[in-house]
Amino acid sequence: MILATARGPTARDTEARRCLLSAGLLFVSTQCQNARLMAGTLYIVATPIGNLEDITQRALRVLREVDVVACEDTRHTQRLLNHFAIKTKTVSYHEHNERERTEELCRLLESGKNIALVSDAGMPLVSDPGFRVVNAAIERDFPVVAIPGAAAFVTALVVSGMPADQFLFAGFLPSRTNARRAKLETLREIPTTLIFYEAPHRILDTLSDIVALLGDRPVVVARELTKFYEEFLRGTAEQVRLQLAARPSVKGEITLLIGKGAPAVATTSVEEAVHELEEAGIPRMDAIKQVARERGLSKRDVYKQVSG
Amino acid sequence: MILATARGPTARDTEARRCLLSAGLLFVSTQCQNARLMAGTLYIVATPIGNLEDITQRALRVLREVDVVACEDTRHTQRLLNHFAIKTKTVSYHEHNERERTEELCRLLESGKNIALVSDAGMPLVSDPGFRVVNAAIERDFPVVAIPGAAAFVTALVVSGMPADQFLFAGFLPSRTNARRAKLETLREIPTTLIFYEAPHRILDTLSDIVALLGDRPVVVARELTKFYEEFLRGTAEQVRLQLAARPSVKGEITLLIGKGAPAVATTSVEEAVHELEEAGIPRMDAIKQVARERGLSKRDVYKQVSG
């Protein structure tokens, strides 16, 4: 089934006309100014991820002009709207009411109302709810228009120093240990930069898992992106883990990037490598296992060298 | 080597202070207003991908306040700057002079000048030049700050209707046929949404390759994103190919999305499927080969059914 965007052009023409208009390139008639009132459009609107200046002119206009803003958390979004003196009505949608809300929102679109869909931060749908609403709108042939803007993973990627021409975004890592490890295992052979979101209280465990399962690869931990305490930590997974472990606590949302698995050039002896890990608090047999994996040796060989 | 962002906080503090300031939450002293003059910061600034309204407040401020805007194409970026009455000096950097330009830009940062790095459209570094400049700045410990905004692949993804929680972005597909096919082959087993950029004059060949190498998967072709003629075509690779092939020409930059490989439910007989492909101009033996692959049958079996 090919879903042509039958009603799309109306809304999009209006968008484009406004753009040309704002550039002084189009004379606009009353008729075409009214076009946007004819069909209900679902706008997917990117909002700031930490710095209120990171919002586009079009996002502000759309949030102001639509009939309803559908938010992940109305209190959170209300603060954004208040800051920009936007009075538009809000409704909540989230994981737990998305099914019912989808029907309500589609009825609004059907009746010609325009809706802006936002998440708490960044681009909706990318590790955020909204998928069901957008797909319902597509299936029912309502025009759907994305208003591009901030997304944390892209922001982290371009400052990471890692290749940005190819990457795999894998969203939030599972919170349960076994599920997280299984997920990392499935990504071991992917030959691109890997990007994840991770909670601050799990980052140390996750970095340990990376060392154990993927090897001591280059990683970047990006914290508090675009905020006052924005920070990028770069090094191997183990180096960054040790650096974070030395802190009393780790706070803020984290974007974690893992570099392509290039075999690290060994600058220390096998014995030294095991000793370093032990000093970092890793049990001797785990340290031996890890060094064996990193160096492509058998555990037995490493054990012999350490004990010899 | 862990590259701590030694000089980062200065610039970032300034950013954050401005944000708080604009929110009326910070009283700013003269001293802290001068802080941004102390160190050279490299800003990676996202610019619109087709609609001039798709630029953030922070991007406009940074483009206005930096000493130099480093552009992929100065004439292209000059139009953007003119539109917003920004007078900042521009310099060009591109694939062919990036090495020399990197040294010049680092000397500017060293001398305390602030630089905004932009590409022709969207977020620099994502399928755009800039990687060398950013990595040189990171290695030499200059503060690097991303100003998030529009990126075509994210814009296409959220309107595509395909899962946006996990995806692989693979940049531009190679222009040479064999290289393109080899690239698609390597991505066959990746169990996520795949995203590419493709030139309009190659999209038909690429869709044929997808059908042949990955099977007749769901695809979305997004054209002219955020522009007047923005269009999304959804269907299987073959359906979308036939739809585009029926046009006199295909224009505009394309973002191509490929869905996870789910075996399509066959709604036509093997004979009908071959006949349909033949009518679409595919030679009989190629059509048989393709249907065999799609249905998990041997070529011999399909041949028998068609000839029987």
Q: Collect the ranges in chain A with pLDDT lower than 70.
A: 1-39, 261-268, 294-296, 308
Q: Sign of dihedral through CA atoms A59, A65, A70, A72?
A: positive
Contacts of B56 in chain A (CB under 8 A): 53-56, 149-150
Interface test with B, best of A18, A51, A241 (most B CBs within 10 A): A51
Q: What percent of chain A has pLDDT over 90?
A: 67
How many residues can be counted in chain A? 308
* Chain segment B59-108, per-residue pLDDT in tens: 999 999 999 999 999 999 999 999 999 999 999 998 788 889 999 999 99
B residues 183-202 closer than 8 Å to A (CB)? 186, 190-192
Look at residue B26 in the predicted model and tell me its pLDDT.
38
**How far does the CA of residue A114 sit from the closest CA of chain B (Å)?**
16
**How far does the CA of residue A303 sit from the closest CA of chain B (Å)?**
27
**How far does the CA of residue A1 sit from the closest CA of chain B (Å)?**
6
Query: Which member of B83, B144, B186 has the closest CB to residue A159?
Result: B144
Q: What is the pLDDT averaged over residues B27-40?
A: 43
A36 vs B238, residue with greater confidence: B238
Q: What is the pLDDT averaged over residues B290-301?
A: 75
Among A255, A227, A231, smallest CA distance to B6 is for A231
B residues 115-134 closer than 8 Å to A (CB)? 123-127, 130-131, 134
Angle separating helix axes B284-295 and B203-214, nearest 10 degrees: 50
CA-based nearest residue in chain B for residue A243? B2
B283 vs A73, residue with greater confidence: A73
User: Does residue B8 have a pLDDT over 70?
Assistant: no
What's the whole-number average pLDDT of chain B? Answer: 85
CA-based nearest residue in chain B for residue A136? B161
B10 at A interface, C-beta within 8 A: no
Q: Do A61 and B54 touch (CB under 8 A)?
A: no
Look at residue B25 in the predicted model and tell me its pLDDT.
40
Q: Using pLDDT thresholds of 50, 70 and 90, give the confidence band for residue B14.
A: low
Contact between A222 and A162 (Cβ < 8 Å): no
- In sequence order, the 6+-apart residues with CB closer than 8 A to the CB of A248 are none
Look at residue A302 in the predicted model and tell me its pLDDT.
84
**Torsion-angle region of B9 (φ positive above 0: left; ψ -120 to 50: alpha; else: beta):** alpha
Interface test with B, best of A158, A167, A234 (most B CBs within 10 A): A158
Per-residue 3-state assignment (H helix, E strand, C coil) for B197-266: EECHHHHHHHHHHHHHHHCCCEEEEEECCCCCCCEEEEEEHHHHHHHHHCCCCCCCCEEEEECCCCCCCC
Contact between B142 and B95 (Cβ < 8 Å): no
Look at residue A10 in the predicted model and tell me its pLDDT.
42
User: Does residue B12 have a pLDDT over 80?
Assistant: no
User: Does residue B27 have a pLDDT over 70?
Assistant: no
CA dist., res. A154 & res. B33, Å (int): 29
Q: Do B166 and A164 touch (CB under 8 A)?
A: no
Contacts of B132 in chain A (CB under 8 A): none
* Chain segment A88-123, per-residue pLDDT in tens: 999 999 878 888 999 999 999 999 999 999 999 999
Look at residue B185 in the predicted model and tell me its pLDDT.
92
ipTM for the assembly: 0.77
Query: Which member of B5, B23, B44 has the closest CB to residue A231?
Result: B5
Q: Do B134 and A159 touch (CB under 8 A)?
A: yes
B89 vs B278, residue with greater confidence: B89
Highest mean pLDDT pick, B27-31, B257-261, B303-307: B257-261
CB neighbourhood size of B74 (10 A)? 16
A18 at B interface, C-beta within 8 A: yes
Look at residue B263 in the predicted model and tell me its pLDDT.
41
Query: Which member of A163, A167, A234 has the closest CB to residue B3?
Result: A234
**How far does the CA of residue A299 sit from the closest CA of chain B (Å)?**
27
B residues 266-285 closer than 8 Å to A (CB)? none
